[in-house]
Amino acid sequence: MRLSIHIKPFSFRLIKRLKTSQGIIEEKKGWLIHLENALGKSGWGEVSSLSHSEIAISGNLLKSLGNKISHDELETNLPFWPESLAFGVGAALGELNGLIGIGSDADWLPAPRSAILLSNNQSVLKEIDILLNNLETNQHPLTLKWKIGLEATQKEEALLFQILERLPNNARLRLDANGGLDRIQSKQWAQHFLTEPQLEWLEQPLPADDLEGLAELAKNIPIALDESLLMQPSLRKSWQSWQVRRPTLEGDPRALLQELKKKASYKMISTTFETGIGLRWIHHLAALQQQGPTPTAPGFAPGWCPNSLLFSNNPHDVWEAA
């Protein structure tokens, strides 16, 4: 079957800079993909890597495909392409073939309530106060995510205690180091999980390749892997504790779709700041996770992206806004 393929670049700036132990994220660039078959049925995808070089490589590969390509050729190339490109094309094929979206067994599932990604500075306390004053927030358990490993440990620990003092008993706080701690620092942070029930997990405390140190920590407290899963994808099958799954960086999303349909446990679906086209998949996968044995708040980072049609759930609107 021959398919028409159209591509279009997109870019946007985050409302505020996101600082992690690995650097600063303030802008996203990528590619939108629109596949259409001879019957006029469409599939939409998005290439949304955090790597500028991967975006450039993916753009060159997409341009080399021309305007017409066979379905089989796309399927054959997928395993050899960068993961973010494989996500974009796999997502478009999945929709085109009726595995997801209109015409599938569940249509697009609505987004569940997200965890809140907090700011990285002293304004975090004011931010939490505003959240707690929101009546709607008080009607639902509040889940927060806070980046650590950016300042001296003693300073961040003091701020942690102030955060925990503010939170209601049913709130949960995730600490994310993005691989920025050493083993001594990680053990120091781990001690808090033994006495603070509001702490949900410690996310990627050690560098992605320190699997021995991560496994040792996981014997005593919940450790969620993120960057390690991207560096060593086989861990997605073997890591028994929490996994932060970022679909747009993992390759063809149809595998994760089937995994979640089979009620896989200990997965948390996370954004990498997508447009509305990618978000349809992120929201759907997160909704499936909620139906599994270990439901938990996904990470959509609400309030960090602009309010525009680029983030609409209508792919035609996204395409026109790009």
Q: What is the DSSP annotation of 103-138?
A: TSSSBSPPPPPPPEE--SSTHHHHHHHHHHT-HHHH
Q: Which homologous superfamily does the CATH classification assign to the domain defined by 2-107?
A: Enolase-like, N-terminal domain (3.30.390.10)
What is the full DSSP assignment across 230-259? Answer: HH-TTHHHH--S-EEE-GGGTS-THHHHHH
Answer positive or negative: Cα dihedral of 180, 260, 75, 36.
negative
Place of tokens 């306390």: 125
pTM of structure: 0.95
- Would you list the domain boundaries of the chain? 2-107, 116-290
CATH number for the domain whose boundaries are 116-290: 3.20.20.120
Q: Do domains 2-107 and 116-290 have the same CATH topology?
A: no
The one-digit pLDDT tens for each residue of the chain (322 residues) are 899 999 999 999 999 989 887 788 999 999 999 999 999 999 999 999 999 999 999 999 999 999 999 999 999 999 999 999 999 999 999 999 999 998 788 789 999 999 999 987 778 999 999 988 875 655 678 999 999 999 999 999 999 999 999 999 999 999 999 999 999 999 999 999 999 999 999 999 999 999 999 999 999 999 999 999 999 999 999 999 999 999 999 999 999 999 999 999 999 999 999 999 999 999 999 999 999 999 999 999 999 999 999 999 999 999 999 9
